[in-house]
Amino acid sequence: MALSLKDLKIESSAFPDGGRIPERHTGEGEDTSPELRWSGVPEGTRSIAVICHDPDAPLPDGFVHWVLTGIPADVTGIAEGGGNEYHQGSNGWGGTGYRGPMPPPGHGDHRYYFWVYALSVPVDEALTRREFIDRYGKDVIEQARTVGLYSR
């Protein structure tokens, strides 16, 4: 399930790639963002972005759980519950910051993609996932993801 186009990699100590996300990182628990770390940031990276997205949500474009932009290129991770020092874009609930998995009961496992993007430009604004893709998709040098599963 892990995707890496070249050298960029992302992982979490909270769950293995393709493993179950612990309840404390969900809407049923403490709703605390998991620790994330990445490596292999390519040369020329000017900023990093992180997005958590559930493509299995019963909505046309899935459901967004977290959008972080403006992360300096030399940062290699986000601590559990961290990320507040960066730009927090809108999540699917209409707020900002991390909101953990809370899929409809009985719908089976949903996949939660934690994406890291290495960008060739600085990003100094809070964005929705769609705005990020539309405005900065062309500036992505590399991307990678890790996937966690959750169901109720």
pLDDT, tens digit (0-9, with 9 covering 90-100), for 45-83: 999 999 999 999 887 889 999 999 999 999 999 999 999
Q: What DSSP state is assigned to residue 75?
A: -
Q: What 3-state class would DSSP assign to 114?
A: strand
Backbone phi, psi, residue 38, to 5°: -135, 160
Q: Enumerate the β-bridge partners of residue 144.
A: 4, 116
pLDDT of residue 1: 47
Per-residue pLDDT tens over the stretch 85-101: 999 999 999 999 999 99
Separation between Cα atoms, residue 85 and residue 131, nearest integer Å: 20
22 torsion bin: left (phi>0), alpha (psi -120 to 50), beta (else): beta
Residue among 78, 51, 50 at smallest CA distance from 62 = 51
Domain extents for the chain?
A: 3-113+127-150
CATH class, range 3-113+127-150: alpha beta
Separation between Cα atoms, residue 151 and residue 138, nearest integer Å: 34
Write down the H helix ranges in 5-74.
none
Whether this prediction's pTM lies above 0.85 is answered by yes
